Each structure stands twice: as C-alpha cells, then as structure tokens.
Amino acid sequence: MTLPTAESSGTYRLGDREVHRLGYGAMQLAGPHVMGPPADRDAAVAVLRRAVELGVDHVDTSDYYGPTVVNELIREALHPYPEGLVIVTKVGARRDADGGWPEALDAADLRRAVQENIDHLGVEALDVVNLRMPGFAEPVQRSLAEPFEALAAMQQEGLVRHLGVSNVTPQMFAEARAIAPVACVQNHYNLVHRADDPLIDALAREGIPYTPFFPLGGFTPLQSAALETVARRLETTPMQVALSWLLARSPNLLLIPGTSSVAHLEENVQAGARVLGPAELDELDRIGGTGGTGGPVVDL
C-alpha cells in the first residue's frame, strides 16, 4: 500500500514559501526531558530523513532542545538541505543544569541564540525564528517590544529571514506586528483548548499561519474517552483524528506533530489525507464543549 504524503494536507504560505500544512516537530528527538542525546541516534536520523521522503517541508526545532542535540541531528540527517525545506526555530529561553527553561530575552542572549542556531544547523541565515515568550502553556501578558526589536535588528542584518511569535496574547501579537512583519504565531491550541479561536480566525483573514502546540494536551478523561470512541469508529488513532480536526478547523493552521518513531511519523502523515465529514466534525466540536468557534472577534 502506498502511504499518503504530506502533500495530502494542502499548503499554506509561511514567510516567502508555500509549505505543506503537515510538518514535523523535532523536540522529541532529544533524550528524556528534552535533555541530552537520543537513546538511538540512528533511529532519530531515520525519522528526519523519512519525514522529508514523505513530503514534510516544514521542520520545527530549537537549539535549546538537548541543548544543541536536535539541531545537530537535523544537520547530520538533512544537510545539505533540500530545496524548499523551511526550518523554523525558536529563541527566548535557555536550559539550566537542572533541565529548566529560564527565559533569555535580553539582546545579548537573543543574538547568541540566533548565532548558535545558525552554527549548529549549518546555515547562513535562519528561515524563521519564533520569539518564544515565557509561560508553560498559557501566555503571560507582558511587553515583548525589546526582544522583538532585537530580533528585528538581526533580520535587518540578514541573520534571520522571517520572524514569528510564540506563546502570546492577541495584544502581544499586535505589539510585535507594529515593530516588524510577523510571519507566524505558535500557541497552545487543540480540540478542547479553544481559547485562541478568535485569534486563529483573525490571522486567517490576514493570511498569517498559526501553529498549535500540545495537540493532545489538557484533555479530561471524559474528553479523551470520547475522542477514542470517534477514533475507533473511524478505525484510526486519537492522534490522527485530533490532527485531522485541526487541519479542518482553518486553512491557516500548520501542524508540527513530533515523534521519535518512523511508524508513528507515518501515522501522523496519514492524518493529512483523512477527510472528516460534517457529522464527525460536529461530534468532535461537542467533545471540546463547543458547537462552533464562538468568542469575541479579534481585530488585528
């Protein structure tokens, strides 16, 4: 049987490139707690190469995964990079000896992070850099002007091609956009965590992609059981159903499911080819406790 490829998920513009909407998040290639090397380096390299074979042309990473481990794996597996591959990285934190993620948002920290990402990926400039603001899963309202201005200066120097923001409120996005063009937003969003519905719709009107993280995070046991029921009826996995729902939610959603397994990667890519009917979409919306997007309209 021929496996579907990422092309089945459709495309959307990210920066100055059209990418397949189903990409790959590389965080899980590091060791436990995103620290140190993977247990099987060859397997990690195989996952990256298989992702590209399956049409994935949007890889999400950061030099603080490992730290440095994941970017070095990407370079080993894929360099020289295929034409059209977009590597999105993020800055704004560092790793400490205890495996924590303290913020690193001053200009010197950000310049160091950008240069280290460049060096470890083996590129002359970074395709897209997301400014990751503090907060585990929910944004904390605060000014991002100083760090975003520092990144905008590096963009003017040619070190970064496009800028994005991560873990931000609509107000923080607007603040960033007033400083420099914002190519993408990466926030916590999934079938049951729908707080960003108005922001997603507003970004779609502007042609700006939105990348959700934690696609299966924060489900209650009842919600998980209901999702599993739908998955069994469709003879697939809960993860595939959740990813297919995200692809159906809005055309500007770009997905970056992560895995360290080739078999799991292939399952995730198949989600791009699955079309959910109106009945399934309505049932899945009810799992999330909503029959529609609801909420206030965000005006960007």
Q: For residues 81 and 87, is the Cβ–Cβ distance under 8 A?
A: yes
Read off φ and ψ for residue 149, nearest 5 degrees: -65, -35
- Residue 207 CA from chain centroid, whole number: 17
For residue 80, whether the previous peptide bond is cis, meaning omega lies within 30 degrees of 0, is yes
Residue 12 annotated as catalytic = no
What crossing angle do the helices spanning 41-53 and 69-78 adopt, rounded to 10°? 60
**If you ran DSSP here, which 8-state letter would residue 92 be given?**
S
Distance CA 89, CA 63 (A): 8
Contacts of 131 (CB under 8 A, 6+ apart): 90, 91, 92, 144, 147, 148, 151, 163, 164, 165, 166, 176
Contacts of 285 (CB under 8 A, 6+ apart): 291, 292
Residues 72-84 as b or e (16 or more Cβ within 10 Å = b): bbbbebbeebeee
What angle is formed at CA 54 by the lines to CA 273 and CA 246, rounded to 5 degrees? 40
The catalytically annotated residue of 12, 24, 65, 210 is: 65
171: which 2 tokens? 């107000």
Helix (H) or strand (E) holding 287, with range, is: helix 278-287
Q: Which residues are catalytic?
A: 65
